[in-house]
């Protein structure tokens, strides 16, 4: 933009040129959509069409979401799904000239106008820039909640599909997520908006060719008078006008809108979102960087909201660490965000717009067909389990469990399952790329089974694994420079790296199999330990998005509507890495709604608590895993339907496939006795009708350690018969 900084000798001439430019674009003089002939932004597709992925197409052409696979009219979080509105028009094309008058138009137009009004700064007032406009909050009545959800669905299904690179639409979506208590999703959209700000301003950016024209056409719909006011409202605005052609003037105008409106708004939404999630290190650091960036791009101004975020983060961390104000100051923590905690927690739920979550009880026959293929003597049934997350000891939840259809002898293998949804975080380990089994020694008799991909260095333990990899995921990762990602990480980061690698594999599988990632067989029936509270005024309280709330870390739960948040979440693993993975797989993170960040959150919710993990070179999770951190992980969708007990009746072993073997003998514990009039068995095997119970932790540990170890996978404290008895003995000072 340097050429535009040249002082202009003749301000009048510049204004004349600008007026000529505006006239040449034949812009509309109101915010109403322009007639079709003068509105190059085309109307969104009126009805759902198959996603572009269905054609194996990897271009940036916007995709419309495929018809939902799930038929359940009621989402698991109790929120009724909004009516199917795929036929509604949206955006600037939804004008009377081109759409039949019987189509509903009021809501879509309102959304478009909301995006039009989304401005950050009136350039004439420094003070406005200091405080900026407030984020509008929302009222918490059911009508407001439903309308907000509808707006989000409308944006997701139409606006973002048709205008995936349009900055104000991204920002409006982020804002609506924030208002509905999803600061994590708001941060994700805000981050994408920041990437689009760069794309608009940098002609060499990969997305420039898409982002700049979409914003240009959008701004052309702003009334001329308003556009002129934006340019003229302080003397610098006119003096900065470039002397060049109308195209250059337009570019200048675009740049100005990005710098003064969208960039600050995106920074703000990102850091507020991150802070509410508890990612204090990144929020603090990004708030400072944003202040710096805004100062550089807009002049000597400070955004008070960004300052508030730095203060809010400092206050939250000081409280978390239980430090006095004096110690905090003395040790310089106020000035050293690098040390702040960065792992947050967010709502773990079936999002109101998630149409992929199956009604598992209704689909038990399909599930049992899958189970029969890997475990002919087992079946899946509904089972009532203690609700471990609630406060009440007696609350129960209806879930699934695995049961024996016939007697199983001690030592008998009852389930054997192989999965392609695997991951390992060791860069140089000799593991099969597909099933994660250890590769055979060069001298072993099975060494000649090993196969290598002819186009990359991936190695497979057998021709079967190679061909299964080719059919299910490998094309998406082959030669895409993904190998070094998340490998050889420190032990503390090992588990998170594996979850992210599982996410990467799921994306690759969905891409190659041309389906939605939540539709994959390996994922679909997994229960993500979602909270079951509906988004109603009884449970959801919208946040007040003002300075007082930002400055008070006791109120950060309000940012999540005060709903429970149990899903671990970070900027790195839930925003930056997924976008990077998609780009490396040549999937457009803006134009592919199948891989939206809410989809990634849902996948993570499903993986956490169900994925098995182990060290490479060994087949059992155990004590050593804790020191080195897990190295290999996999999701086995049938295996993981078995519930936990610290007195399990099966053992599991995992090499290339995962197996359940009926125990020869049950664990010894003193309290084993009579339950409900039936003597609990000590001998091994599983009787017909008995539930198959697995162990998520080392059952040799004492009750305290077991509970600690299994807490992550169970979502709460284990209340199995053995734990309850042993904890009671400890409490009673046995």
Ligand X SMILES: C[S@@+](CC[C@H](N)C(=O)[O-])C[C@H]1O[C@@H](n2cnc3c(N)ncnc32)[C@H](O)[C@@H]1O
**Binding residues for ligand X (CB under 6 A):** 385-386, 388, 399-401, 527, 529, 609-610, 640-641, 643-645, 714-715, 720
Give residues with Cβ within 8 angstroms of 366, minimum separation 6.
none
Least Å from the CB of residue 656 to ligand X:
21
Residue 425 or 643: which CB sits closer to ligand X? Answer: 643
Residue 575 or 720: which CB sits closer to ligand X? Answer: 720
DSSP element (H, E) containing 215: helix 208-219
Q: For residues 647 and 666, is the Cβ–Cβ distance under 8 A?
A: yes
For the chain, how big is the Rg over CA atoms in Å? Answer: 28
Residue 625 or 645: which CB sits closer to ligand X? Answer: 645
Residue 485 or 713: which CB sits closer to ligand X? Answer: 713
β-bridge pairing 459-460 and 451-452:
antiparallel
Residue 205 or 717: which CB sits closer to ligand X? Answer: 717
Least Å from the CB of residue 262 to ligand X:
41
Q: For residues 471 and 483, is the Cβ–Cβ distance under 8 A?
A: no
Rounded to whole angstroms, how far apart are CA atoms 705 and 717? 11
DSSP state of 518: G
**What is the rounded end-to-end Cα distance, in angstroms, of the chain?**
77
Residue 216 or 706: which CB sits closer to ligand X? Answer: 706
Rounded to whole angstroms, how far apart are CA atoms 33 and 36? 9
Give residues with Cβ within 8 angstroms of 100, minimum separation 6.
none
State whether residue 675 is helix, strand or coil.
strand
Q: For residues 584 and 480, is the Cβ–Cβ distance under 8 A?
A: yes
Give residues with Cβ within 8 angstroms of 292, minimum separation 6.
none
DSSP element (H, E) containing 232: helix 224-232
Q: For residues 360 and 369, is the Cβ–Cβ distance under 8 A?
A: no
β-bridge pairing 658-662 and 650-654:
antiparallel
Residue 233 or 388: which CB sits closer to ligand X? Answer: 388
β-bridge pairing 674-675 and 422-424:
unpaired
Least Å from the CB of residue 572 to ligand X:
25
Least Å from the CB of residue 719 to ligand X:
6
Least Å from the CB of residue 88 to ligand X:
36
Least Å from the CB of residue 513 to ligand X:
23
Least Å from the CB of residue 492 to ligand X:
23
Residue 313 or 387: which CB sits closer to ligand X? Answer: 387
Residue 138 or 387: which CB sits closer to ligand X? Answer: 387
Least Å from the CB of residue 502 to ligand X:
14
- Return the structure tokens found at 134: 């407030």
Residue 476 or 640: which CB sits closer to ligand X? Answer: 640
How far, in Å, are 398, 460, 592, 689 from residue 402 at the CA level? 13, 32, 36, 10
Least Å from the CB of residue 696 to ligand X:
7
Count other C-beta atoms under 10 Å from residue 67's C-beta.
12
Any idea which residue has 């009219």 for tokens?
73
**Residues forming beta bridges with residue 614, ordered by sequence position:** 632
Residue 152 or 646: which CB sits closer to ligand X? Answer: 646
Residue 486 or 646: which CB sits closer to ligand X? Answer: 646
Q: For residues 421 and 436, is the Cβ–Cβ distance under 8 A?
A: no
**Residues forming beta bridges with residue 578, ordered by sequence position:** none
Residue 262 or 696: which CB sits closer to ligand X? Answer: 696
Least Å from the CB of residue 420 to ligand X:
19
- Return the structure tokens found at 549: 């709330």
- Return the structure tokens found at 199: 């794309």
Rounded to whole angstroms, how far apart are CA atoms 528 and 713? 10
State whether residue 693 is helix, strand or coil.
strand
Least Å from the CB of residue 527 to ligand X:
4
Taking alpha carbons only, the member of 582, 559, 530 closest to residue 185 is: 559
Least Å from the CB of residue 387 to ligand X:
8
Least Å from the CB of residue 154 to ligand X:
32
Residue 13 or 395: which CB sits closer to ligand X? Answer: 395
Least Å from the CB of residue 643 to ligand X:
3
Rounded to whole angstroms, how far apart are CA atoms 430 and 459? 8
Instruction: Supply the DSSP string of 466-516, one letter for each residue.
Output: HHHHHHHTHHHHTTSS-TTTT-S--HHHHHHHHHHHHHHHHHHHHHHHTS-
Least Å from the CB of residue 393 to ligand X:
12
Instruction: Supply the DSSP string of 274-333, one letter for each residue.
Output: HHHHT-HHHHHHHHHHHHHHHHHHH-S---HHHHHHHHHHHHHHHHHTT--HHHHHHTTG
Residue 489 or 714: which CB sits closer to ligand X? Answer: 714
Residue 280 or 569: which CB sits closer to ligand X? Answer: 569
Least Å from the CB of residue 240 to ligand X:
58
Q: According to the 3-state scheme, what is the secondary structure of 111-169?
A: HHHHHHHCCCCCCCCHHHHHHCCCCCCCCCCHHHHHHHHHHHHHHHHHHHHHCCCCHHH
Least Å from the CB of residue 608 to ligand X:
9
Q: For residues 192 and 596, is the Cβ–Cβ distance under 8 A?
A: no
Residue 385 or 459: which CB sits closer to ligand X? Answer: 385
């Amino acid at each position: 933009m340097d050429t535009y900084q040249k002082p202009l000798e003749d301000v009048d001439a510049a204004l004349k040129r600008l007026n000529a430019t505006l006239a040449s674009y034949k812009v509309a003089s109101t915010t109403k959509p322009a007639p079709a002939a003068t509105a190059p932004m085309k109307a969104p597709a009126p009805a759902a069409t198959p996603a572009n992925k269905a054609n194996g197409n990897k271009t940036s052409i916007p995709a419309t979401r495929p018809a939902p696979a799930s038929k359940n009219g009621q989402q698991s979080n109790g929120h009724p799904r909004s009516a199917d509105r795929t036929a509604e028009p949206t955006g600037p094309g939804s004008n009377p000239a081109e759409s039949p008058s019987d189509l509903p138009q009021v809501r879509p137009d309102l959304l478009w106008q909301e995006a039009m009004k989304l401005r950050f700064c009136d350039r004439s007032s420094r003070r406005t820039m200091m405080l900026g406009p407030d984020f509008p909050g929302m009222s918490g009545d059911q009508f407001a909640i439903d309308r907000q959800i509808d707006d989000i669905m409308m944006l997701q299904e139409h606006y973002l599909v048709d205008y995936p690179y349009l900055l104000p639409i991204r920002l409006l979506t982020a804002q609506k997520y924030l208002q509905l208590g999803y600061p994590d999703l708001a941060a994700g959209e805000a981050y994408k908006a920041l990437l689009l700000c760069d794309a608009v301003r940098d002609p060499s950016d990969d997305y420039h060719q898409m982002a700049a024209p979409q914003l240009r056409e959008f701004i052309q719909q702003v009334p001329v008078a308003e556009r002129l006011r934006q340019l003229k409202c302080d003397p610098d605005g006119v003096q900065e006008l470039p002397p060049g052609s109308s195209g250059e003037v337009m570019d200048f105008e675009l740049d100005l809108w990005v710098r003064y409106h969208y960039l600050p708004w995106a920074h703000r939404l990102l850091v507020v979102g991150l802070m509410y999630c508890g990612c204090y290190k990144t929020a603090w650091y990004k708030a400072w960087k944003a202040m710096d960036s805004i100062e550089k791009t807009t002049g000597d101004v400070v955004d008070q909201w960004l300052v508030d975020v730095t203060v809010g983060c400092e206050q939250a961390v000081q409280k978390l660490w239980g430090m006095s104000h004096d110690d905090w100051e003395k040790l310089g923590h106020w000035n050293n965000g690098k040390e702040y905690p960065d792992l947050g927690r967010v709502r773990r739920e079936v999002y109101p717009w998630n149409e992929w979550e199956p009604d598992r009880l209704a689909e038990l026959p399909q599930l049992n067909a899958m189970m029969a293929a890997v475990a002919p003597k087992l079946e899946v049934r509904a089972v009532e389990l203690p609700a471990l997350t609630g406060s009440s000891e007696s609350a129960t939840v209806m879930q699934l469990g695995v049961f024996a259809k016939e007697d199983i002898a001690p030592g008998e293998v009852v389930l054997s399952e192989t999965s392609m949804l695997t991951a390992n975080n060791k860069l140089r380990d000799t593991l099969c790329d597909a099933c994660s089994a250890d590769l055979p020694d060069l001298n072993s008799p099975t060494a000649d089974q090993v196969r290598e991909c002819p186009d990359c260095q991936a190695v497979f333990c057998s021709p079967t694994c190679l061909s299964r990899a080719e059919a299910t995921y490998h094309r998406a990762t082959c030669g895409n420079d993904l190998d070094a990602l998340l490998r050889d990480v420190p032990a503390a980061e090992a588990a998170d790296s594996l979850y992210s690698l599982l996410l990467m594999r799921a994306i690759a599988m969905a891409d190659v199999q041309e389906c939605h990632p939540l539709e994959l067989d390996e994922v679909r029936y997994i229960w993500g330990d979602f909270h079951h509270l509906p988004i109603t005024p009884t449970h959801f309280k919208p946040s007040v998005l003002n300075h007082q709330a930002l400055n008070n870390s006791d109120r950060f739960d309000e940012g999540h509507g005060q709903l429970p948040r149990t899903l671990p979440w970070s900027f790195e693993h839930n925003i930056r890495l997924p976008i990077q993975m998609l780009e490396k797989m040549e999937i457009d993170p803006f134009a592919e709604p199948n891989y939206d960040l809410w989809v990634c959150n849902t996948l993570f919710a499903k993986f956490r608590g169900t994925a098995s993990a182990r060290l490479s070179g060994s087949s059992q999770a155990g004590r050593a895993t804790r020191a080195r951190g897990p190295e290999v992980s996999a999701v086995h969708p049938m295996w993981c339907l078995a519930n936990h007990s610290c007195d399990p009746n099966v053992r599991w072993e995992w090499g290339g496939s995962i197996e359940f073997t009926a125990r020869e003998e049950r664990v010894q514990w003193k309290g084993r006795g009579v339950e409900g009039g039936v003597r609990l068995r000590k001998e091994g095997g599983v009787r017909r009708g008995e539930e198959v119970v697995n162990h998520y932790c080392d059952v040799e540990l004492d009750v305290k350690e077991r509970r600690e170890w299994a807490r992550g996978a169970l979502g709460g404290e284990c209340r199995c018969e053995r734990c309850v008895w042993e904890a009671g003995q400890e409490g009673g000072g046995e």
